């Protein structure tokens, strides 16, 4: 497995959409520009070959290097492609940009402010899922670029957002071996940004939806490491459809029974983790719910759910797919 090295603190600006090169300055190599934009060097070579967005400076006996103006145009290209503009159209816009204007030089193509990122999906044109771009932004710890992408992909469909973008990016980051600086851990940073995006989406859907009943309709809990984000994805998707959800932060039988007694939900979701060692906890959580309330439907979702030794009851349902889980819950409570 290849070993990658995270950018050093204080080095070139990380990510693509908020880097702001000066109008003049030292020329840069392909590798340096790739780090700034959060793209692979091969992408820059493709943009050069197909669209003429290559380095303009050349010294005898040396490789061509990117000037500040070259980098500014590439930043326009990168920003537009992140927004979903076709590469050919983005390249034409980048090449026609005035290097002396605020859009290219000096001020540079500024990335969104924090408030703009948080609310971007409410009025922005959705963009296509691009897991490699999200991995690059997360690997450069470019929080604005990460939030920008998270907010614009499938803005009204949390399940597709997870399946097409977040899950593939997280799997790549978790499986990658890197050398990172203190406090730099890309996968947890992306997870935290994804949680923040779900909070923003939940707040927006609550504002669009008439007041929900005070009683929780679905009680959701995650039984296993690595399932916490996924169970919140399902909860957000349910709320998008007008269903009130509460997520239990523990899968212990006692906590599940107490939450069941307090909330009296119409259905319970137990999200099972992929780790074999976590499955007994899932089984115990399901058993405790069935024993406490034999009438409440319990939906169990996760990898290997068919092999779990779950209680034999008409109210216990095993579901293998995320989409199926959402549909079954909606059919039960709406």
Domain with 282 in it: what CATH number? 3.40.50.2300
Same domain, yes or no: 216 and 326: yes
- Specify the pTM: 0.66
Same domain, yes or no: 195 and 228: no
Same domain, yes or no: 184 and 296: no
Report the alpha-carbon distance of residue 274 to residue 234 in Å, rounded. 17
What is the number of domains present in the chain?
3
Report the alpha-carbon distance of residue 101 to residue 104 in Å, rounded. 6
Residues 187-207: b if buried by 16+ CB within 10 A, e if exposed: bebbbebbebbbebbbebbee
Q: Does pLDDT of 123 surpass 60?
A: no
Q: Does pLDDT of 119 surpass 90?
A: no
Over residues 140-155, the mean pLDDT reads 86
Tell me, yes or no, whether 104 lies in a domain. Answer: no
Over residues 163-181, the mean pLDDT reads 92
User: For tokens 């819950």, what's the residue?
Assistant: 329
Tell me, yes or no, whether 277 lies in a domain. Answer: yes
Same domain, yes or no: 32 and 75: yes
pLDDT for the residue numbered 26: 60
**Structure confidence at residue 21 as a pLDDT band (50, 70, 90):** very low
Q: Which of 207, 223, 246 is the last residue of a domain?
A: 207
**Structure confidence at residue 99 as a pLDDT band (50, 70, 90):** low
Tell me, yes or no, whether 8 lies in a domain. Answer: no
Report the alpha-carbon distance of residue 27 to residue 71 in Å, rounded. 9
Q: Which of 96, 126, 152 is the last residue of a domain?
A: 96
Same domain, yes or no: 281 and 220: yes
Tell me, yes or no, whether 38 lies in a domain. Answer: yes
pLDDT digits (tens, 9 = 90+) for 218-269: 999 998 788 899 999 999 999 998 899 999 988 888 999 999 999 999 999 9
Over residues 298-307, the mean pLDDT reads 88
Tell me, yes or no, whether 109 lies in a domain. Answer: no
Pairwise pLDDT comparison (149 vs 164), residue with the higher score: 164
Same domain, yes or no: 125 and 225: no
pLDDT digits (tens, 9 = 90+) for 268-297: 999 998 888 878 888 999 999 999 999 999
Q: Name the burial class of residue 110, with classes exposed (0-12), middle (13-18) and buried (19+) by CB atoms within 10 angstroms of its CB.
A: middle
Domain that holds residue 185: 114-207
Minimum mean pLDDT range among 70-74, 111-115, 264-268, 301-305: 111-115
Over residues 149-154, the mean pLDDT reads 89
Do 287 and 298 touch, CB atoms closer than 8 A?
no
Minimum mean pLDDT range among 13-22, 69-78, 185-194: 13-22
Q: Does pLDDT of 214 surpass 80?
A: no
Give how far Cα 97 sits from Cα of 16, 89, 146, Å. 17, 12, 25
Q: Does pLDDT of 62 surpass 50?
A: yes
Q: Which of 207, 233, 261 is the last residue of a domain?
A: 207
Same domain, yes or no: 79 and 121: no
Same domain, yes or no: 51 and 91: yes
Average pLDDT along the chain: 80
Same domain, yes or no: 217 and 304: yes
Same domain, yes or no: 225 and 324: yes
pLDDT for the residue numbered 194: 96
Tell me, yes or no, whether 86 lies in a domain. Answer: yes
Pairwise pLDDT comparison (208 vs 118), residue with the higher score: 208
Same domain, yes or no: 227 and 314: yes
Give how far Cα 334 sits from Cα of 19, 123, 182, 212, Å. 47, 29, 48, 12
Tell me, yes or no, whether 43 lies in a domain. Answer: yes
Do 20 and 107 touch, CB atoms closer than 8 A?
yes
Do 103 and 73 touch, CB atoms closer than 8 A?
no
Q: Does pLDDT of 57 surpass 80?
A: no
Tell me, yes or no, whether 34 lies in a domain. Answer: yes
Over residues 120-136, the mean pLDDT reads 73
Same domain, yes or no: 125 and 145: yes
């Amino acid at each position: 497995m290849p070993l990658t090295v995270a950018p050093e603190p204080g080095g070139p600006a990380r990510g693509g959409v908020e880097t702001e090169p000066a109008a003049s300055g030292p020329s840069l190599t392909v590798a340096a520009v790739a780090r700034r934009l959060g793209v692979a060097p091969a992408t820059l070579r493709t943009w050069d070959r197909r669209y003429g967005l290559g380095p303009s400076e050349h010294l005898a006996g040396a490789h061509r290097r990117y000037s500040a103006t070259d980098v500014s145009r590439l930043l326009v290209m990168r920003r537009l492609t992140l927004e979903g503009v076709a590469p050919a159209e983005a390249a034409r816009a980048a090449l026609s940009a005035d290097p002396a204007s605020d859009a290219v030089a000096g001020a540079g193509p500024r990335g969104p402010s924090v408030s703009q990122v948080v609310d971007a999906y409410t009025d922005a044109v959705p963009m296509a899922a691009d897991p490699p771009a999200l991995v690059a932004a997360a690997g450069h710890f470019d929080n604005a670029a990460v939030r920008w992408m998270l907010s614009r992909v499938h803005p009204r469909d949390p399940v597709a957002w997870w399946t097409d973008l977040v899950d593939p990016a997280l799997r790549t980051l978790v499986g990658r071996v890197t050398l990172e600086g203190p406090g730099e851990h890309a996968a947890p940073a992306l997870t935290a940004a994804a949680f923040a995006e779900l909070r923003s989406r939940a707040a927006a859907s609550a504002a669009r939806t008439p007041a929900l009943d005070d009683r929780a309709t679905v009680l959701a809990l995650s039984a296993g490491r690595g399932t916490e984000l996924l169970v919140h994805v399902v909860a957000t998707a349910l709320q998008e459809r007008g269903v009130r959800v509460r997520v239990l932060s523990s899968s212990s039988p006692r906590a599940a029974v107490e939450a069941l007694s307090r909330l009296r939900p119409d259905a319970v979701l137990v999200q099972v983790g992929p780790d074999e060692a976590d499955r007994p906890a899932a089984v115990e959580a399901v058993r405790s719910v069935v024993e406490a309330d034999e009438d409440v439907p319990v939906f169990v979702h996760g990898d290997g759910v068919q092999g779990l030794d779950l209680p034999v009851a008409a109210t216990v349902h095993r579901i293998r797919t995320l989409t199926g889980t959402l549909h079954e819950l909606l059919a039960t409570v709406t």
